[in-house]
Structure 1
Amino acid sequence: MDGTGGGARHHGGGRWRGPDTRGRSPLVRGRVPAAVAAAGAGLLVFHRAVPDAGGLGSLLEAFLPWLGLVVPVLFVAALVRRSAVALVVLLLPAAVWGALFGPLLLPADHGAADDLVVVQHNVADDNPDPSGTAAAVAAAAPDLIALEELTPAALPAYTAALSGEYPHHAVEGTVGLWSKRPLTGVRPLDIRPAGIGEDWNRGLRAVVGTARGEVAVYVAHLPSVRIRAGGFASGLRDDSAARLGAAVAAEQVERVVLLGDLNSTVDDRGLAPVTALLDAPRRGFALSWPAAFPVSRIDQVLARSVTVTGIRALPATGSDHLPVAARIRLGT
């Protein structure tokens, strides 16, 4: 009995260390999942090296966190193949993903008092319930509310629903900002891409006074991107992002908060003119689009000389985007 049991245990271990029933060594039978794991880790680390022909690089970066799905899939494959080699190599993408995105899974840092709560929402120009949407974003009790895709027909409903708690507001074209505190220095923000008509106005800038000093608040809605037969069309978005980045770089107020639908994630190289100047939230994935099954956060809260301590998605409204709420610490 002892000999038989010991033999069975040896045989079970040998299925990991020795040849399988088809005579394949552990290295051979694990080479496919190991190669895919190594490639996944390489893409996570060196995604900027992927050529942007046809927008391929931007498309990859727009969904970069989802590369982490290779880890559980390959884990199962390694178990099925009984490959210790594949399991070891699988540690590479797991470690890289954890380093890049793991902190976003941690609870928001509320160790010190946050000074501002803000909400960002693309309300959708075909939203059937503007009043209900306004009430939903106000329910988060933010200090500032930024809205995009405002239409002339729906604007009175938003204004009426928000004016009680947010008596200070500014609207430029299809974007608006509602505030509990007075707004000064309000002006349009010219982020219109080359070749777009002069009636296109999707940006504004205002200054909000706080107990810790002034904060320049930008509201922006960058052009949409399209996936076409020829690739990922992002030229207009990228042009608008470059203009937005130039405006932020020229801003004289030190503290800056950007609220907007930027039509991609902070990992997308097309937003580099903006993300090189502004910091992303420290905590929270807050996937915001599409509302029915969110796979990406394209609604952003970015900042300079202040800290966005956390961001979260709010319940769905009548829009195809989810609202996002963020907490901001102004510092001294």
Structure 2
Amino acid sequence: MRSSARGAAARGARRPGLRIAVPALLLAVLLAFPGLLPDRPGHLGSLAETALPWFGAAVPVLLGWAVLRRSVVGTAAALVPTVVWAVLFLPGYLPGGDGARSDFHVLTFNVGGERTSPAEVARQVIGTGADVVALEKVPASAMPAYERALSAAYPHHVTANTLGLWSRYPVRGSASLDLGGAWPHAVRALVGTPGGDTAFYAVRLPSVRVRADAGFTIEARDRSAAELADRVRGDRAARVVLLGDLNGSLRDRGLAPLARQLTAAQQEAGRGPGFTWPAAFPLVRIDHVLLRGLRATGSAVLPDHLGSDHRPVLTGLRGSGGAHTT
């Protein structure tokens, strides 16, 4: 009887460990291999990839549960997703960039439509010292006011619908890009930056929503992202800078066609998660600076006190290889 009682007690002691170990190991697999999660129904895979850094919030819960139950098995299992999360995301908190001098600075900012004042946005933008600026979600009725407010600091500019690209350097060869949808989602222009011509893309991909009846509504965004990726792939410019609101994290499989061929300035030279939306308490990075033929020397998310629901991103750039490109 005593042996039987001891066996039952041992089995009872193991159960809490197993209850902790199963979700802990599933969390580790999700963090390490989010692509295994199917995208149907409701594009759950894309949604999970977008929120992936926040899955780490479950780690202290699992560890606390294991400690309270005094479970060695549970504690060991909870350490697995802890290590996976640290490997994936902690490097982003280390100092970014190599300290090299920037040749020029670029800024991207979704101004939030009618939420902001052209004069106040211009004041903040000029104050950053950026040399090339992409503004997104500019109301068509307010575009002339933005052009007037920015003209002294940025004598060269091109606009298309709700997008604008302003530059201290000469701009030529501009074109609005039809990526599918009712309005152009990108504008491309060749800008004579230090070191040579650079193809700039100012972008705002279609919005996404999380809806009870449809899940994560990313179809229009993904189609436009794929079309934009094709345009960038065929762009013969040696230097490419893509600035804008992509309405998604670069971990999202829907933006993979772009992420595979361009380097993220935040990953190369930023620090921290670089979240940009919503501005009051950013939870995800959907505003990006993507590069080809250039390298980022530093990238920072700026505070926004103007009323937009996005935060601006300022990035220093230099010709790849440490010297001016030709």
Provide the TM-score with structure 1 as the length reference: 0.87
Asked if structure 2 preserves the Cα contact closer than 8 Å seen for 1:26 and 1:84, the reply is no
Asked if structure 2 preserves the Cα contact closer than 8 Å seen for 1:289 and 1:297, the reply is yes
- Note if 1:57 corresponds to 2:41: no
Structure 2: gaps of 5 or more residues: 1-5
> Residue deviations 1:47-106, cap 9 Å, x none?
111111121111111111111112222222222112222222223222222222222111
SS at match of 1:69: helix
Alpha-carbon distance change, 210 to 34 in structure 1, aligned in 2, over 3 angstroms: same
Structure-2 separation of matches of 1:33 and 1:309: 43
Identity among equivalent positions (%) equals 44
Question: RMSD in angstroms over aligned alpha carbons?
Answer: 1.8
- Note if 1:36 corresponds to 2:61: no
- Note if 1:319 corresponds to 2:308: yes
- Note if 1:271 corresponds to 2:255: yes
Alpha-carbon distance change, 180 to 38 in structure 1, aligned in 2, over 3 angstroms: same
Asked if structure 2 preserves the Cα contact closer than 8 Å seen for 1:74 and 1:90, the reply is yes
Counterparts in 2 of 1:1-332, with a 5 A limit? Answer: 27-53=14-40, 54-192=42-180, 196-197=181-182, 200-228=183-211, 229-280=213-264, 281=266, 282=268, 283-284=270-271, 285-316=273-304, 317-331=306-320, 332=323
Alpha-carbon distance change, 313 to 109 in structure 1, aligned in 2, over 3 angstroms: same
| Number of corresponding residues | 307
SS at match of 1:303: strand
1:250 partner amino acid: G
Structure-1 separation of matches of 2:84 and 2:104: 33
Structure-1 separation of matches of 2:45 and 2:77: 25
Task: State the structure with more CA Rg.
Answer: 1
Structure-2 separation of matches of 1:63 and 1:321: 17
Alpha-carbon distance change, 57 to 209 in structure 1, aligned in 2, over 3 angstroms: same
Asked if structure 1 preserves the Cα contact closer than 8 Å seen for 2:100 and 2:297, the reply is no
2:238 partner amino acid: E
> Residue deviations 1:278-305, cap 9 Å, x none?
1112233221111122100101111112
Asked if structure 1 preserves the Cα contact closer than 8 Å seen for 2:297 and 2:317, the reply is yes
Which region of structure 1 is more displaced relative to structure 2, 215-224 or 311-320?
311-320
Displacement after TM superposition at 1:262 (Å): 0.4
2:29 partner amino acid: G
Structure-1 separation of matches of 2:102 and 2:85: 29
Structure-2 separation of matches of 1:88 and 1:174: 52
SS at match of 2:115: coil
Displacement after TM superposition at 1:130 (Å): 2.3
Structure 1: gaps of 5 or more residues: 1-18
1:142 partner amino acid: A
Displacement after TM superposition at 1:45 (Å): 1.4
Provide the TM-score with structure 2 as the length reference: 0.89
Alpha-carbon distance change, 323 to 211 in structure 1, aligned in 2, over 3 angstroms: closer
Structure-1 separation of matches of 2:46 and 2:137: 24
Structure-2 separation of matches of 1:114 and 1:100: 28
